Amino acid sequence: MAAKITREFLEKIPKTDLHLHLDGSLRISTLIELAKSAKVPLPSETEAGLQELVFKEKYQDLPDYLRGFGLTVAVLQTPESLERVAYELAQDNIAENVRYIEIRYAPQLHIRPGFTVEEVVECVNRGLARAQKEHNASAAVKQGGDIPFHYGIITCAMRFFNRHMSAYYAQLFDGMPHAPAKEVMAVASLEMARAAASLAHNKGIPVVGFDLAGAEAGFPAIDHKNAYQHAHVHFLKKTVHAGEAYGPESIFQAITECHADRLGHGTFLFAADKVKDPSIKDPDYYVKCLVDYIASRRITLEVCPTSNLQTIPAIPSVADHPLRKMLDANLSVSICTDNRLVSRTSVTRELELVCNHLSVTPARLRNLILAGFKGSFFHGPYNEKRALVRQVINRYDALEKQYLGA
């Protein structure tokens, strides 16, 4: 009989978070402090009040879930606030033995005249680099008793925005007064992809990937095909929020039109009933082929259980989450938080929920952990990534023997 996977073991093992939004993962105390400084009005100035009114246990749907970002983005409009929040987020992850993170955010939500996209990314990078330097200088890391901390930055374009969401977006609409809204959004995403590629190749900043975020239904990824093509030919890795609020066709589009190396969420991958294209005569076969393709190509799914339960009423519990089908299909799956504040969670908590509700065996847990490191958009030579994975394997196996007697 396999040993029980304990909370203590989950806290100790090295972990990743590949789907981690900066503006959804502030410390709530920091949000309150920054709001006071920036004179941003909050529905409540207490942690309990904000949790009751904004950052709830359950949301009506994805748009309801996304409303809290109006507050968090509003307080992240200065170099100091961006650097601080990035630093604290890295600290919070390091504290629970997360040793690799990829922080994603939309820099265009933070830029304004005199504060460029490059400066926004540099501020976030400074905060992350400071936390990394502090951890990696520790005696435990230097003596080989702990794993160094690594990170990457994923820049996001927005599927949808309006002129009120940032000064940059307002300027863009003003400059394209006769263009359809989707063309304005496509121009913004292409410019974001260009900036990301430039930062990665010319500034040495670990911008490792490009993403498309925001409300999915009604705003197809194909509208941003040119941005993804630019990222693709400039060797940026690609991930797409897909299958979170739409069906398998959105996932297919992300892979075929946007060259996705990973998929954000992929929740409705198996939902043949959500296939809408009348030319697809056999939705069940379509889904089967799509699942087999994702499995064989090892396209990692960034699964965020708590976030999905909060935004998708059709999934009442972790036990009902399609993660079970993903694991049974031997897909490459990494467990992520999505938003530590908005979902009130951590990597350890997400893993604990999965282990408790899906009867995850130690062997399957090991695969989940390693999938995060192997599926990462690691900044650096492939041989360095392999060396990190080997460190993780050695550390994990030693802890498994200590805590589970394996």
Q: Which amino acid is at 314?
A: A
Catalytic residue list contains 244 = yes
381 touches 150 (CB < 8 A): no
318 touches 281 (CB < 8 A): no
Quick count: other Cβ atoms within 10 Å of Cβ 230? Answer: 19
What is the per-residue burial (b if ≥16 Cβ within 10 Å, else e) of 331-356?
bbbbbbbbbbbbbbbbbbbbbbbbbe
CA dist 168 and 116 (Å) reads 10
Q: What is the DSSP string of 260-327?
A: -SEEEE-TTTT-GGG---TT-S-HHHHHHHHHHHHHHTT-EEEE-HHHHHHH-TT--SGGGSTHHHHH
E strands present in 58-115: 98-105
Q: Which amino acid is at 125?
A: N
- The C-alpha angle 88, 94, 95, rounded to 5 degrees, equals 90
Among candidate residues 102, 216, 244, 400, the one labeled active-site is 244
Tokens of 320: 């009902």
Quick count: other Cβ atoms within 10 Å of Cβ 264? Answer: 28
Q: Which residues are part of the catalytic machinery?
A: 244
